[in-house]
Amino acid sequence: MSDIVQLFVSGISTGAIYALAAMGFTLLWQTTGTINFAQGEFVMLPAFIMLAAMNLLDVGLLSAFVISLVVSMVLLGAAFKRALVDPMAHHGVLPLIIATIALGIFMKEAVKTFYSAEAQPFAAFAPEGAMRIGPVSVSIENIAVLAVAVVAILALQLFLQRTFAGRCMQAVAQNRESARILGVPVERMVLYTFLINAALATLAALLVTPTYLAKFDNGESLGLIAFIAAIVGGFNQMRGALAGGLLIGLIDNFTAVYISTQYRHAIPLILLIVVILFRPQGLFGRAEERRL
Amino acid sequence: MQVSHSLKVWALSAGAGALGLMAASAVVPAQNAKTVLMINAIELSGGGATVGTNWRDAVDMAVKDINGAGGILGRKIIVKHFDTQSKPGISKAVITKALDEKPYVVLGPIYSSSTKVNMVVTRRAGVPHIVGSEAASITQTGNPFIFRTSFGQSASMPKLANYLKDEVKAKSVAVVWVNNAFGKGGRDNAVKELKARGIAIAADISTEVQQADFSAEVVKAKQSGADVLFAYLHEEESARLLIELKKQGYDKQIVGETTLTSQKVLDLAKDAANGVKGHVGLTADANIPAIREFARRFEAAYGRKPDHNGIKGYVAVHVVKEITERMGKFDQKGFADALHCTTITTEQEPGVLMDISYDKNGDVDRASFLVEVRDGKQVVTGVLPKLGNAVGC
């Protein structure tokens, strides 16, 4: 029982990080039709910005996170939108996908060149070690990761549903032209989406890097898993990406312990195939029709 | 007419000589009378970047030292570094291209999977090949050109198993290993040696190269109830495993072989590495003046402490120097013959840092160390003598 609880906690805490990245996928897709294949690198880069801030400016982790948040929102939010998405969006989904793949490669190589190809240690934001809850021993860091991720996700949901700006963003996501006719400042709402995506990626970097260590190629696996999570949960629903992330995290951990460590990465892909075959809109997504 | 005939003979002789020289230049290593070329095919990116960077920097340092003292037989060393990207496929392509430059010797790589493909190419070319890899199978193929710089697993695992039985008093062990040539070879040798000493394998857990999340593996190890966890992974993965073990409050003894207590792992894992014990073939913390001095100079040059891969890279270049100087000429076949069944002492060549012996297969024998990590530093707790059982000599 103790093992199952431990696995559940660590699986769901890892899954919450996947969910943060996966939600970025859905946000950008809903508002601009962008599938950002550099999403994994969007999580990798803020970790290095935090490291650079800590090493060069001699600031603590929290201050480095704030600096990274601002820089990421400028670079990975506003600049990404203006310099890459806006000019490419008119050419359709495929060129934009290829452009984001190229961006991901560029970001990886840039970090490798200017920082290092070697993994770097990264400070944990929560105390290490385990705490006992009755007979069960769980990692304090996992609990903290889970708590921060849940608070972030709840805050985002509240923002989207309870604020004027959030409802405008949803309107843009549902029907951009109607929103424009109703007076919603569409371009600003789209910009907000990119800024939120950058913020989510920075938060994911803070949570995941102490365990993964900071390395230029961290984004490869993280981006792929987040993409799978978004597809499995539902690419057009935030709650779908959330559920997909948590599900993948749990499946990954339970598979490794109770089925096989060798095939742990295959199971999410099998799940992806099954979902695409039997419920293409994802577990929590809504079916979309397109008239040709 | 007589003059004309002599001119023809002279012209033909000169032409033949020129052709001979051209032909010779095609088979003799591309080096002029003043230089000798070494190719260093090593992991400079990908999962092995950490180890490869240490090796490369130490090779550069050795080359600088040797060139500063006049080179090898009066020739300056030129070393060219090639990045294998830690991938066997890339590594093979790299070494195939690099051999076009006709090097005298090839150094690296460290990842056994890459070495296993590269050594086929260097053997075909007849180029001596000195590697940092540890997979047992590398020196078991009868390749006369392959040489290690550190223990193979067939030498290190018996030492480790003795340590677990006699010092740690382990009754059962959970083995966590990386599923590639390096890890599988280590796992197979470790399991064989542990079982031979009556130690049970409570869990046999394979992991992947560049794996990031070890939470499930740690739960499995905890479930097994083993007295000891033996980890045999690459440096970055070792650090991630240690971090996860600490996160989950793992309280049993953690033991490793060389990589687990290497400097890079300590740098990455920080406090999570405290208390880890292990057997290491080489360590910058060894109480040997030559190693201490090397480590001091390396740290001054590169701003970080060298790990065992740095020591291996430094030793590799000095082994080339010593054997070549013993022969008194640059002869690749002769080099390979001369390095088998031989010992290089630090009196003969101080750059080897510790006395080192080679057997018939190119395996290394030398003293080794028992270590423990205390306050983030590797502390040597014991010295194990050379095995002294050189195969085939």
In a domain, B16, yes or no: no
At position B225, the amino acid (one-letter code) is G
| Token output for B49 | 């970047």
Number of domains into which chain A is organized: 1
Query: For residue B129, what are the domain limits?
Result: 35-151+287-362
The C-alpha angle with vertex A85 and arms to A82 and A87, in degrees rounded to 5, equals 75
Within 8 A of A217 by CB-CB distance, chain B residues are 46, 210
**CA–CA separation, A96 vs A34, rounded Å?**
7
How close B47 comes to chain A (CA, Å)? 8
The C-alpha angle with vertex B323 and arms to B321 and B328, in degrees rounded to 5, equals 90
- Residue B165 belongs to a domain with what CATH number? 3.40.50.2300
Instruction: Determine the residue among A125, A208, A261 to mutate to test chain B binding: the one whose Cβ has the most chain B Cβ atoms within 10 Å.
Output: A261
In a domain, B52, yes or no: yes
pLDDT band at A89 (very low <50, low <70, confident <90, very high): confident
For A121, the closest chain B residue by CA position comes to B268
Number of domains into which chain B is organized: 2
Lowest mean pLDDT among A127-131, A156-160, B158-162, B267-271: A127-131
In a domain, B141, yes or no: yes
**Which whole-number Å values give the CA distances from B349 to A11, B60, B181, B280, B326, in the listed order?**
54, 18, 32, 23, 11
Cβ atoms of B51 and B132 closer than 8 Å: yes
In a domain, B166, yes or no: yes
**Which whole-number Å values give the CA distances from A164 to A28, A84, B283, in the listed order?**
19, 28, 62
In a domain, A246, yes or no: no
How close A119 comes to chain B (CA, Å)? 7
Predicted confidence at residue B29, as pLDDT, reads: 47
For A1, the closest chain B residue by CA position comes to B223
Predicted confidence at residue A292, as pLDDT, reads: 53
Q: Are residues B350 and B293 in the same domain?
A: yes
Q: Which residues of chain B have pLDDT under 50?
A: 1-4, 7, 18-30
Mean pLDDT of A135-141: 83
Q: Are residues B273 and B302 in the same domain?
A: no
Q: Are residues B204 and B328 in the same domain?
A: no
Cβ atoms of B174 and B230 closer than 8 Å: yes
A 10 A CB-CB count for B145 gives: 22
Mean pLDDT of A113-129: 87
Within 8 A of A261 by CB-CB distance, chain B residues are 205-208, 216-217, 220
pLDDT of A102 > 90? The answer is yes
Cβ atoms of B178 and B234 closer than 8 Å: yes
Within 8 A of A116 by CB-CB distance, chain B residues are 49
User: Is B247 in contact with A6 (Cβ distance < 8 A)?
Assistant: no
Cβ atoms of A202 and A245 closer than 8 Å: no
Q: Kindly report, residue by residue over B198-244, the tens digit of the pLDDT.
A: 999 999 999 998 898 899 999 999 989 999 999 999 999 999 999 99
For B43, the closest chain A residue by CA position comes to A117
Query: For residue A117, what are the domain limits?
Result: 2-217
In a domain, B10, yes or no: no
Predicted confidence at residue A3, as pLDDT, reads: 79
Q: Are residues B210 and B276 in the same domain?
A: yes
Predicted confidence at residue B27, as pLDDT, reads: 43
Of the candidates B45, B50, B207, the beta carbon closest to that of A261 is on B207
Q: Is B276 helix (H, G, I), strand (E, B) or coil?
A: coil
In a domain, A112, yes or no: yes
In a domain, A128, yes or no: yes
In a domain, A84, yes or no: yes
In a domain, B376, yes or no: yes
Q: Kindly report, residue by residue over A215-248, the tens digit of the pLDDT.
A: 999 999 999 999 999 999 998 888 899 999 999 9
Q: Are residues B291 and B353 in the same domain?
A: yes
Predicted confidence at residue B24, as pLDDT, reads: 44
What ipTM score was computed for the predicted complex, to two decimals?
A: 0.84
| Token output for B41 | 């095919």
pLDDT band at A127 (very low <50, low <70, confident <90, very high): confident
Query: What residues does B79 pair with on adjacent strands?
Result: B38
In a domain, A199, yes or no: yes
pLDDT of A282 > 80? The answer is yes
**CA–CA separation, A200 vs A43, rounded Å?**
8
Predicted confidence at residue B26, as pLDDT, reads: 41
Give the distance between the most distant pair of CA atoms in chain B.
99
Of the candidates A129, A211, A262, the beta carbon closest to that of B179 is on A262
pLDDT of A283 > 80? The answer is yes
Q: Are residues B319 and B213 in the same domain?
A: no
In a domain, B249, yes or no: yes
Of the candidates B44, B212, B247, the beta carbon closest to that of A212 is on B212
In a domain, A85, yes or no: yes
In a domain, A274, yes or no: no
Residue A272: closest CA among A243, A237, A230, A221: A230
pLDDT band at A290 (very low <50, low <70, confident <90, very high): low
For B237, the closest chain A residue by CA position comes to A212
- One DSSP character per residue, chain A reads -HHHHHHHHHHHHHHHHHHHHHHHHHHHHHHH----TTHHHHHHHHHHHHHHHHHHS---HHHHHHHHHHHHIIIIIIIHIIIIIHHHHTT-HHHHHHHHHHHHHHHHHHHHHHT-SS-B----SS--SEEEETTEEEEHHHHHHHHHHHHHHHHHHHHHHHSHHHHHHHHHHH-HHHHHHTT--HHHHHHHHHHHHHHHHHHHHHHHHHHH-B-TTHHHHHHHHHHHHHHHH-TT-HHHHHHHHHHHHHHHHHHHHHT-STTTTHHHHHHHHHHHHH-TT-SS--------
Q: Are residues B141 and B230 in the same domain?
A: no
Q: Are residues B234 and B379 in the same domain?
A: yes
How close B241 comes to chain A (CA, Å)? 9
Predicted confidence at residue A182, as pLDDT, reads: 92
pLDDT > 90: percent of chain A? 69
Predicted confidence at residue B263, as pLDDT, reads: 85
Predicted confidence at residue B102, as pLDDT, reads: 95
In a domain, A20, yes or no: yes
**CA–CA separation, A73 vs A71, rounded Å?**
6
Predicted confidence at residue B28, as pLDDT, reads: 45
Q: Is B177 helix (H, G, I), strand (E, B) or coil?
A: strand
Q: Are residues B138 and B164 in the same domain?
A: no
pLDDT of A187 > 80? The answer is yes
User: Is B206 in contact with A137 (Cβ distance < 8 A)?
Assistant: no
Predicted confidence at residue B8, as pLDDT, reads: 54
| Token output for B1 | 């007419």
